[in-house]
């Protein structure tokens, strides 16, 4: 992961190219795609396209945060992160 982040191929497509061979080596008939929608609180960061108000179910209130959607492929007991995407809100919530 560190080598990937230090490289030039940033983004979900670049990550897939990086891990595709590993995923194909563990593929089996029993598989699942897991989507995880998580937020990372950023209370001291100014609002922008990525950092804005998102509802935190853990705190039961809106917090200033970044929202990340990650994709994980699971094959029996092997889980491989296959992609990610920052969620950008198209409607402003102040």
Give residue limits of the domains in the chain.
2-86
The pLDDT > 70 percentage for the chain reads 78
| Distance from C-alpha of 36 to C-alpha of 8, rounded to nearest angstrom | 25
pLDDT digit string, tens, across residues 15-54: 778 778 877 776 766 677 788 888 899 989 888 888 888 8
Query: Longest C-alpha distance within the chain, in Å?
Result: 46
How high is the pLDDT of residue 9?
A: 58
pTM of the complete model: 0.57
β-pair partners for 38: 68
């Amino acid at each position: 992961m560190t080598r990937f982040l230090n490289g030039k191929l940033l983004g979900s497509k670049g990550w897939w190219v990086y891990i595709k061979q590993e995923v194909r080596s563990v593929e089996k008939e029993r598989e699942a795609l897991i989507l995880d929608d998580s937020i990372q609180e950023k209370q001291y960061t100014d609002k922008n396209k990525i950092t804005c108000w998102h509802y935190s179910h853990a705190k039961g209130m809106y917090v200033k945060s970044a929202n990340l959607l990650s994709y994980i492929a699971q094959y029996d007991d092997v889980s491989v992160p296959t992609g990610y995407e920052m969620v950008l809100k198209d409607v402003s919530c102040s």
